[in-house]
Structures are given as C-alpha cells and as structure tokens.
Amino acid sequence: MNKNIIRSITIISFLFCLLWLVGLGWAVGEYYAGKPEEVPKAIVTKEANNTKGLTIVALGDSLTRGTGDETGKGYVGDLLDEIKEKTKRPVQLTNLGINGQRSDGLRRQIQQTEVQRQIQKADIVLLTIGGNDLFRGGQGLMDFQAGSIAAIEKTYLHNLKFIFGQIRKVNSTANVFFIGLYNPFIEIDQGKEMSKVIRHWNYDSAEVSAAYPKIIFVPTFDLFELKVNDYLYSDKFHPNTKGYRLIAERVAALLTW
C-alpha cells in the first residue's frame, strides 16, 4: 500500500471521527446541556400541607426535571413514592428544576423571593447541578483535556458555595441531598479519561458539601459505571426509568424515617 493511499485513509478516518464528535456534542447540547428555560415551571403536588407532613423542594437541572424517564417521574418522583410508602405521611413536593440549568443560573434562581420562601418551609431539599457546567453544551467533550476545565470548575465551586450558603441562610435545618455526576460517556474512546475528570469533579463537590451542616453528597458514578447503557435514555446522556430509579434508591437509603 503506497503512502498516498495510507494518507488518504488517515484523513478520511480523522474526518469521520471529527464528524462523530461534532454530532455527539450537538446531541449533548440539545439534550443534556441545552438552553435553560427562561421561566422555571414549578411542579407542585397537591398533598395537604400540615405539621405532620413532609415538604420537599427540588432544585437544579434536567435530572431534577426527570428528562429521559418515560414515566415522567424521574428520581424525584420515585423518591416521593418511596417516602409516602414508608412513612405514610402526606408529602408536598415543589419541583423547581430547569432544563439546561448551570450553577450560575441556580445561583440567580436561589436568590428569588418565591424560591427562598419554598426553601424556607422545606424539610428536604434535593439538588442536581454541575453537569451542564462541565459538558458546556457538548464543547466539554471536545476539549476536556485542554486545561480550561480547571477554570470552569473554580467558577462552579464558587457558585456552589454561594448556593449552599443561601440554602443554609434561609433554612438551617432541612436535609439537603446533593446528587453527584455519573459518566454517560464511559464506553467512548476517551471514556476513561473523562471518568477521571468526573471523579475529580465529584470529589471537589463532595468536599464543598462537607463544609456545610446537613448537606449530604450522594454519589452516583458507581451506579452507572459497569452497565451505563442499561441505565441511559435513548439520547445516551440522561438516565432512563431504571437509571432514575437507581438514583432514587441511593437517596432513599440515606433518609432517616
């Protein structure tokens, strides 16, 4: 095989690889880190609110909204069902998650008067944030080794500290469950390298959580690590019904009844 043929094959292979990455990045931008909704549409259960009941507020991104779950419940809805079953108590849920939300958006949202009012009366706060900061609409797949992640993470952690501080300022007693990131890209060529990035991101997030009382970091990386495709929606980024169920079970195991 002459050099020209080898060169042509190499160029074609590179172009196909680049096209695949661009397509994957577009998909992430559409489904995992899309443009945030301008106005959060709160989902509020109609359970009676009384002194013997539980009040839950869910904040964050598309994972809080349950995107990818065909039942529409997500981990928040699954957890709600389990709490009702085990405690037999009335539960009121307010879901303030926003598709595509990043930490800077949540930082702004959590300063809104109505959001603070909801947090103030909560017994439990559920939170997912950080995936859209890291993957950045798919761009993070293209340059996650470029060194820019350190600066992105620094800003994210700064926002996270502010968010936790605001929650504790408004409500000092609620249990806050902060859901860590999993790696939906484990099986691609750069999956192992991305896993290192996500594990480091989770470690730093957990360290920030530990600095605040009653804020519990909930790891999910291990839940998806071995059979990631079994627990992903067809977009290959969000959890499917089974994936959300795993997350709900992990949170439920940390609750004290």
Task: Give me the pLDDT at residue 188, please.
Answer: 86
Task: Give me the pLDDT at residue 176, please.
Answer: 98
Residues of the chain with pLDDT below 50 are 12, 14-35, 38-39, 48-50
Question: Which pTM value belongs to this model?
Answer: 0.83
Joined together, the tokens standing for residue 198 give 């996500």
Rounded to 5°, angle at Cα 134 from 133 and 136? 65
Q: Can you tell me whether residue 175 is helix, strand or coil?
A: strand
Task: Give me the pLDDT at residue 218, please.
Answer: 98
102 Ramachandran zone, left/alpha/beta (phi>0; psi -120 to 50):
beta
Task: Give me the pLDDT at residue 7, please.
Answer: 57
The amino acid at residue 75 is Y
Alpha helices in the chain, H assignment, sequence order = 3-31, 62-65, 74-87, 103-109, 113-120, 131-135, 139-143, 148-170, 191-210, 221-225, 241-252
Distance between CA atoms of residues 249 and 227, nearest Å: 17
Task: Give me the pLDDT at residue 242, please.
Answer: 98
Task: Give me the pLDDT at residue 137, please.
Answer: 55
Distance between CA atoms of residues 163 and 173, nearest Å: 15
Q: How many other CB atoms are found less than 10 A from the CB of residue 27?
A: 15
User: What is the per-residue DSSP string for 227-247?
Assistant: SGGGGB-TTSSSB-HHHHHHH
Contacts of 144 (CB under 8 A, 6+ apart): 134, 190, 193, 194, 197
Tokens 């709160």 correspond to 42
